[in-house]
């Protein structure tokens, strides 16, 4: 129970006590008045005068309690409003300080954000979008190729063979293949999803994410006991595709694809 509710309960109790006492005094005054009707000296009756004075005292006491209650209620309301204003002012000051500190971070790292290597610039752009509201972040990153709405859309991404094409793999062994995802300006794209698959072994596929250099790597999906040339593909998949082995028929592909050939001996 807070202070205001406690004050309400205390006031109700005082009010009840005063009302009860007033009723007793009214009854006493009525009785004395009836007696006074038969008394020729009514105006000089001490009991009647005493009862009237007692009733008046009770009424005055009740008025004082009521005035005190009103005053206390106003004081509590004023204190509550003052406390709320202080909380709002502290919160606003803290938020302003936080914004200034975040802005200082951006100023101190302007080179990395706008003219550093692609991987660093992309990480810095992601940091800005995490630290600031969307409206502010978009203004800060207006000059950055990695700002909101500035990056190339997924349909403009391209995939390139990076390493592993035309290699020879011994039976029962595994070797790496790497593909690189770039945007329309040939900049590496990190976090893109690449689905790897060998048509010869069915629908089994592996989904990997590109690193800061835009590269995704996977081993050959199968190995064969006979000499021959085999095919492994790498294709850009939807960015929300989970990483790991999966059924290739359930992967949403975006069209860009490269083929790696390898010989089994």
Buried b (16+ CB within 10 A) or exposed e, 161-197: ebebeeeebeeeeeeebbbbbbbeeebbbbebbbbbb
Residues 155/223, Cβ–Cβ less than 8 Å: no
Architecture of domain 154-264: Sandwich (2.60)
pLDDT at 45: 59
Supply 40's token pair. Answer: 């020729």
Length of the chain: 265
- 98, exposed or middle or buried, with CB in 10 Å at 0-12, 13-18, 19+? exposed
* Statement: the pTM of the whole predicted model exceeds 0.75: no
Collapsing DSSP to helix, strand or coil, 107 comes out as helix
Q: How many CB atoms lie within 10 A of CB 245?
A: 11
Residues 184/145, Cβ–Cβ less than 8 Å: no
Backbone dihedral region of 186: left (phi > 0), alpha (psi from -120 to 50 degrees) or beta? Answer: left
pLDDT at 48: 57
pLDDT at 1: 61
Residues 26/55, Cβ–Cβ less than 8 Å: yes
First to last CA, the chain: 84
Collapsing DSSP to helix, strand or coil, 41 comes out as coil
* pLDDT tens-place values along the chain, 265 residues long: 666 676 777 777 777 777 777 777 777 777 677 666 655 554 555 665 666 666 666 666 666 666 676 677 777 777 788 888 888 888 888 777 766 776 776 677 666 666 555 566 666 777 776 777 777 776 676 666 556 555 445 558 999 999 999 999 998 899 999 999 999 889 999 989 999 999 989 999 999 999 989 999 999 998 887 888 999 999 999 888 999 999 999 999 988 899 999 998 8
pLDDT at 195: 96
Backbone dihedral region of 263: left (phi > 0), alpha (psi from -120 to 50 degrees) or beta? Answer: beta
**What is the rounded distance in angstroms from the CA atom of residue 119 to the CA atom of residue 231?**
31
């Amino acid at each position: 129970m807070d202070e205001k509710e406690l004050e309400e309960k205390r006031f109700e109790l005082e009010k009840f006590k005063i009302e009860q006492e007033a009723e007793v005094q009214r009854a006493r005054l009525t009785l004395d008045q009836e007696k006074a009707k038969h008394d020729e000296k009514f105006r000089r009756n001490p009991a009647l005068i005493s009862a009237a004075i007692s009733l008046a005292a009770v009424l005055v006491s009740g008025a004082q309690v009521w005035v005190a209650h009103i005053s206390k209620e106003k004081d509590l309301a004023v204190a509550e409003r003052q406390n709320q204003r202080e909380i709002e002012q502290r919160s606003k000051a803290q938020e302003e300080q936080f914004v200034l500190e975040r802005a200082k971070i951006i100023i101190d790292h302007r080179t990395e954000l706008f003219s550093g290597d692609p991987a660093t610039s992309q990480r810095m752009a992601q940091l800005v979008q995490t630290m600031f509201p969307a409206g502010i972040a978009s203004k800060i990153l207006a000059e950055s190729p990695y700002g909101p709405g500035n990056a190339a859309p997924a349909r403009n991404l391209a995939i390139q063979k990076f390493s592993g094409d035309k290699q020879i793999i011994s039976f029962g062994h595994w070797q790496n293949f790497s593909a690189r995802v770039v945007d329309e300006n040939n900049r590496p794209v990190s976090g893109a999803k690449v689905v790897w698959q060998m048509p010869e072994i069915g629908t089994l596929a592996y989904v990997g994410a590109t690193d800061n250099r835009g590269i995704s790597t996977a081993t050959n999906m199968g190995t064969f006991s006979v000499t021959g040339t085999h095919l492994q593909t790498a294709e850009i998949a939807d960015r929300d595709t989970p990483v790991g082995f999966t059924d290739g028929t359930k992967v949403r592909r975006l069209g860009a694809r490269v083929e790696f050939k390898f010989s089994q001996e």
